[in-house]
Structure 1
Amino acid sequence: MRKTDTLQDNRDVITELRQKDSHFANIFDEHTQLDQQINHLEKDLVKHASRDEEIEQMKRRKLQLKDEIYKIIDKNKLQSHA
């Protein structure tokens, strides 16, 4: 996968993986939920100020999930082209 590929660029692969791989579906869903929670908290300035550490932990977890998602996508692409 090119470094510039985004999740949007891989939506067909993601759709396929979510249907056939329950682990992938779970981590993708968790990533999506974290993204929504982080965005919500960052928009609420009062909550954001009191939850900076929690937000940072969420961002770290989201990044771990994203790395795992891309590894699975890459592996699937390699298997598809083999």
Structure 2
Amino acid sequence: MFPEYRDLISRLKNEDEHFARAFERHNELDQQIKNMEAGLVPADGLTIEHLKKEKLQLKDSIYQILRKTSND
């Protein structure tokens, strides 16, 4: 996710607790969704859709933080 910000992501994960939590939650959701879609974890389409929306909101939030921080 966002390879152009790889160095900044590494720095923020260590320096910004809010960013680190959002990034970790995004990764957790990504894995959870993959497991559900693969049938490893039982889930209905509505649950998967809800998790995908949460993941997308986190991705947007992470991107906004990255853009703001890179412009400082």
TM-score by length of 1: 0.81
Give unpaired runs (5+ residues) of structure 2.
Answer: none
Distance 1:58 1:18, change over 3 A: same
Task: Say if 2:16 is the partner of 1:21.
Answer: yes
The letter for the 2-side match of 1:38 is I
Equivalenced residues, count: 72
Alpha-carbon distance in 2 for matches of 1:56, 1:36? 14
RMSD between aligned alpha carbons? 1.6
Identity %: 43
Dislocated runs of 4+, deviation >6 Å? none
C-alpha displacement at 1:7, in angstroms?
1.8
Alignment of 1:37-56 (within 5 A): 37-44=32-39, 47=42, 50-56=43-49
Distance 1:10 1:44, change over 3 A: same
TM-score by length of 2: 0.91
Bigger Rg, structure 1 or 2? 1
